[in-house]
Amino acid sequence: MIKRIDASEKAIELIKILKEKHGELMFYQAGGCCEGTQPQCFEKGGFYQRTGDICIGTIEDTEFWVDKDLFEYWKHAHFTLNVIDAFGVGGFSLETPLKKTFQIEYRIFTEEEEKELEPVKIIF
């Protein structure tokens, strides 16, 4: 099965640091303006997903949720979670006090990959 999301080593290292401090985590990426344009990291249960939102996979046992409309737009793309040294917009994500910002890089799946994609989890 082809994963819909992966992470850079820098992102994995930061997730481990945040897990030590905050416990179980979750990611959510909305399709709106401001803080919604980048993935947000919360303590697990610290953000309530909406009906139709999609979990595209896990990173370090941390679910990565995507707004249903954003998923519809990017369902043919692979997500790679990365982290940069910067202060992201909004400041709601747990990495903000560390002067880091999670970001997503996208690439389009090949036709062969599309046939082998891992299933997603949807909130009903």
Residue 35: pLDDT over 80 = no
Sign for the CA dihedral angle at 29, 35, 38, 39 comes to negative
pTM score of the predicted model = 0.93
Q: How far is CA 41 from the centre of its chain?
A: 8
Token output for 119: 């299933």
Question: Three-class SS of residue 94?
Answer: coil
Distance CA 75, CA 114 (A): 10
- The continuous run of DSSP H or E covering 72 comes out as helix 68-74
Strand partners, 5: 79
Non-local (6+) Cβ contacts of 71 within 8 A are 53, 54, 56, 120
Over residues 87-94, the mean pLDDT reads 78
**pLDDT per position as a tens digit, 2-16:** 999 999 999 999 999
Q: What does pLDDT average to over the chain?
A: 92
